Amino acid sequence: MLNLKQLIAALATTAAVALPLTAAASGEVNLYSARKEALIKPLLDRFTSETGITVNLVTGKADALLKRLKSEGRNTPADVLLTTDAGRLHRAKSAGVTRSFDSATLEKLVPASYRDPEGHWYGLSLRSRPILYVKGKVDPAELSSYEALADPKWKKRICIRSSSNIYNQSLVASLIASNGEAETETWAKGMAANLARTPKGGDRDQIKAAAAGQCDIAVANTYYLAGMLTSKDEAQRAAAGKMGLFWPNQDGRGTHVNISGAAITSASKNSANAVKLIEFLASDASQQWYAEKNGEYPVRDNIATSSVLESWGHFKADTLNLSQLGNLNPNAVMLMDRAGWK
C-alpha cells in the first residue's frame, strides 16, 4: 500500500505530465465541493490527467453551497455537488437541486445502504461517530451502546456538539429508525441531563474538553480524532492521545456511520462528465486516498486504510439505508428540542 507521501507524489507527477496534453480534450465539469481544496484537488488533477476533462472547482461550507444552488436555480454552472452527511444530500434532493441518474459502475462500487434508493446521490467515503473516553477515567468495559449513555451514571460526564449540528441530528435519526420516536426522546432527555457542559464548538473541541478534564466521554467523528493524532500541533496530538475509542452497539445493529457523497445537479450542462467524475471518486485509488488523507473509511471493505484507522480495529457498522437519516431529520430536530438538548 502506498503511504500518503507516495500517493501525493504519484498524483502530482501524473498530473504534471499529462494535464497540459489533455486538459481541453474532453470538455469540462463544474464541481461545488464542501471539502477543502487540499482534500480533493489532487484527486481532481488525476481525473483530468486520465480523462482530459477539466474540473472547475468551487469550495465552500456545505450549507452555503446548498443555499447557493437553490439561489442560482436553473442558471447554476454546477454539475456536481460534493458534500458531507446524508442529511445534507437529502436536503439537496428535497430542494430539487439534484437529479437521479443511472450508473452500473456506482451500483457495483457503492453498497446499497450508502446510496439514495432513487439514484440522486452516492456515498464516496464513510465516517463513523463512536464513543471516545478518557483513558484511566473510564473503563471501556463500562461502555456498550449509544442508548446506555443516557444512564444516570454518566451525569455531567459527556461532551457532545449542539443539537443544531447535522452529525448529531443524523445520529438521533438513526436511533429513531431503530428504536422508535418515543424511546429515542426518552434517551435524548437522558443525554441532555448527562451533559457536562452546554454544547459548544466542533468535534475537536469535545475531544479537547475531555482531555482537559471537563468530561469523561466525548462523541465525535473518527476523522477528527485521526486528524488530531496526526497533527503537526503537539497540543492536539497530546489531547487525542488521552482518548480511547469504543465502538458502540457491536452486539446489535452496529455503530452509527454516515458518508460524504456526491450528486448531479438538476441543472447540469455536463451530466456525462459529471457521471465520469463521480465514478472516478468511487474508484479504488480514490477510496484509498480518502483513508490516507482524510482519515475516513472507504465505502468498501476491500480497500486498505491508514495505519491510524487500522489501529482502532474493525467494527460492525449499522446497515441502515442512509437515506433514512434525511427522511427522519425533521423528527430528530423536533425531538431534540423537546428533550432540552441545546
Share in percent of the chain as helix, strand, coil (round to 5): 50, 15, 35
Both 81 and 99 in a single domain?
yes
- Ramachandran angles phi, psi of 91, nearest 5°: -65, -40
244, part of any domain? yes
- Write down the pLDDT at residue 291: 81
pLDDT digits (tens, 9 = 90+) for 49-73: 999 999 999 999 999 999 999 999 9
Both 99 and 166 in a single domain?
no
- Write down the pLDDT at residue 264: 98
What residues make up the domain containing 271? 4-127+259-309
- Ramachandran angles phi, psi of 293, nearest 5°: -90, -40
Both 173 and 232 in a single domain?
yes
CATH number, domain of 160, equals 3.40.190.10
221, part of any domain? yes
Distance CA 130, CA 96 (A): 32
Both 182 and 81 in a single domain?
no
- Write down the pLDDT at residue 16: 34
- Write down the pLDDT at residue 7: 46
What is this structure's pTM?
0.88
Both 251 and 271 in a single domain?
no
Q: Which amino acid is at 137?
A: K
Both 333 and 229 in a single domain?
yes
Residues in the chain: 342
Could you tell me if 277 and 31 are in contact, meaning their C-beta atoms sit under 8 angstroms apart? yes
Both 326 and 274 in a single domain?
no
- Write down the pLDDT at residue 235: 96
315, part of any domain? no
Q: Is 223 annotated as a binding residue?
A: yes
Residue 98 DSSP SS3: strand
Both 152 and 274 in a single domain?
no
155, part of any domain? yes
Q: Is 114 annotated as a binding residue?
A: no
Number of folded domains that form the chain: 2
CA distances from 105 to 53, 66, 85, 161 (A): 19, 26, 22, 37
314, part of any domain? no
- Write down the pLDDT at residue 295: 84
Per DSSP (E only), the strands in the chain are: 28-33, 54-59, 80-84, 98-99, 121-128, 131-134, 158-159, 217-219, 243-246, 257-265
Both 334 and 210 in a single domain?
yes
Both 331 and 237 in a single domain?
yes
Instruction: Kindly state the cell numbers that stand for 100.
Output: 437521479
Distance CA 61, CA 90 (A): 16
Both 278 and 223 in a single domain?
no
Both 149 and 225 in a single domain?
yes
Q: Which element (helix H / strand E) includes 327?
A: helix 323-327
Q: Split the chain (342 residues) into runs of 10 and give each run's mean pLDDT.
A: 46 35 62 90 94 96 95 96 94 96 96 96 96 97 98 98 96 98 98 97 97 98 95 96 98 96 97 97 90 87 88 95 96 97 93
249, part of any domain? yes
